[in-house]
């Protein structure tokens, strides 16, 4: 395990739902944190009966018990970074936000989990306002996909220009950095580079892009959880948001690639959390990077890319 300059083991906490299938939720979070040599802890907000085919049932944890878990973890272990995933309802969001505000968490990653891969709702619609009002002002990085971005900003996302506008608007709600994930972006948005999946990072008034090869695979269950957990682990280790972003994106890309060789589940299969990690890259803001097969980030200077 990695240790801080003060000598203690680096610790990260995931506040999220359980995936009984093991590919997403706290199971994916803890696997990812361990891969990044960070000690992972968990607070459960909900239980799901879930597999690669879909979500068969959800049991939401009482907010008072969520708080008890938070108190148990924090008073004994402490935390270097926290991420939230599935929060389920407004009561849980309020409880989590109130606790995190009280302990003054610096490194908070919010993955605004709203819908499962198979389409099952994981956050009540009326809870979005509570998320925006109470949790986002405490947030270091928020990591929505395109659909979640639309729910947060309140208007449709039809192109990269809309993504830019939405990132700025979401940042105005409090997060110091906004990552709009590209997995659900239509191919035509990328014009001559439609074979890429591009994640957009907006931080300190600048846009930076990280792209990986678009793989035609159904083994992408839990990619959002895995990405946000990798980001959290890197922040816990002391990385900047930009450095954490490059490591998290690279890890997810290799985890999806690694899952091509196995047969776990019959639906949207999970990623391979034993993928190698790459944490040494130092990206420059306002650039466009592509993850190469030789496991390095390279600047890209092609035509018809989003305006930098």
CA 264, CA 139: separation in Å to the nearest integer? 34
Nearest to 239 by CA among 1, 4, 23, 41: 4
Nearest to 70 by CA among 91, 48, 95: 95
Please give the positions annotated as active site: 181, 220, 222-225
Q: Are residues 254 and 275 in contact, defined by beta-carbon separation less than 8 angstroms? A: yes
Q: Are residues 11 and 236 in contact, defined by beta-carbon separation less than 8 angstroms? A: yes
Q: How far apart are the first and last CA of the chain?
A: 38
Question: Is beta strand 81-84 parallel, antiparallel or unpaired with respect to 11-19?
Answer: parallel
Nearest to 85 by CA among 218, 194, 225, 186: 225
């Amino acid at each position: 395990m990695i240790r801080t300059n003060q000598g203690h083991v680096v610790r990260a906490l995931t506040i999220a739902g359980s995936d009984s299938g093991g590919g997403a939720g706290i199971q994916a979070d803890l696997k990812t944190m361990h891969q990044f040599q960070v000690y992972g802890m968990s607070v459960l907000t909900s239980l799901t009966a879930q597999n690669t085919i879909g979500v068969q049932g959800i049991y939401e944890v009482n907010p008072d018990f969520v708080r008890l878990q938070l108190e148990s973890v924090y008073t004994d272990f402490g935390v270097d970074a926290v991420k939230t995933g599935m929060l389920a309802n407004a009561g849980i969001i309020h409880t989590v936000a109130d606790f995190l505000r009280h302990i003054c968490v610096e490194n908070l990653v919010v993955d605004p989990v709203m819908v499962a891969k198979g389409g099952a709702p994981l956050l009540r619609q009326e809870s979005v306002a509570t998320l925006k009002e109470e949790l986002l002002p405490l947030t270091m990085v928020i990591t929505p996909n395109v659909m979640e971005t639309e729910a947060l900003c309140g208007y449709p996302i039809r192109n990269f220009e809309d993504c830019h506008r939405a990132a700025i608007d979401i940042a105005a709600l409090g997060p110091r950095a906004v990552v709009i994930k590209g997995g659900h972006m239509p191919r035509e948005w990328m014009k001559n580079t439609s074979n890429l999946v591009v994640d957009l990072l907006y931080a300190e008034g600048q846009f930076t892009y990280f792209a990986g090869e678009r793989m035609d695979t159904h083994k992408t269950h839990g990619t959002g959880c895995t990405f946000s957990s990798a980001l959290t682990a890197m922040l816990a280790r002391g990385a900047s948001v930009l450095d954490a972003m490059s490591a998290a994106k690279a890890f997810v890309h290799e985890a999806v690639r690694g899952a091509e060789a196995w047969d776990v589940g019959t639906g949207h299969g999970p990623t391979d959390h034993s993928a190698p990690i790459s944490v040494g890259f130092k990206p420059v803001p306002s650039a466009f990077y592509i993850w190469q097969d030789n496991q390095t980030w390279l600047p890209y200077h092609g035509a018809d890319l989003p305006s930098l």
